[in-house]
Amino acid sequence: MGDKVCPKCNSEQIEKGIIRAGNGIVHMFPFNNLRSKSSPITSSYCANCGYILGLYVENHERLRK
6 within domain boundaries: no
1 within domain boundaries: no
CA distance 55 to 1: 9
Query: pLDDT value at position 58?
Result: 86
Contact partners, residue 44, CB within 8 Å, separation at least 6: 1, 3, 14, 15, 16, 17, 52, 53, 54, 56
Query: pLDDT value at position 65?
Result: 62
Query: pLDDT value at position 4?
Result: 87
4 within domain boundaries: no
Domain hosting residue 34, numbered range? 14-59
Query: pLDDT value at position 1?
Result: 46
8 within domain boundaries: no
53 within domain boundaries: yes
CA distance 8 to 27: 27
Average pLDDT, the chain: 85
Q: How confident is the model at residue 3 (pLDDT cuts 50, 70, 90)?
A: low
36 within domain boundaries: yes
18 within domain boundaries: yes
Q: Please give the average per-residue pLDDT across 33-61, as a whole number.
A: 88
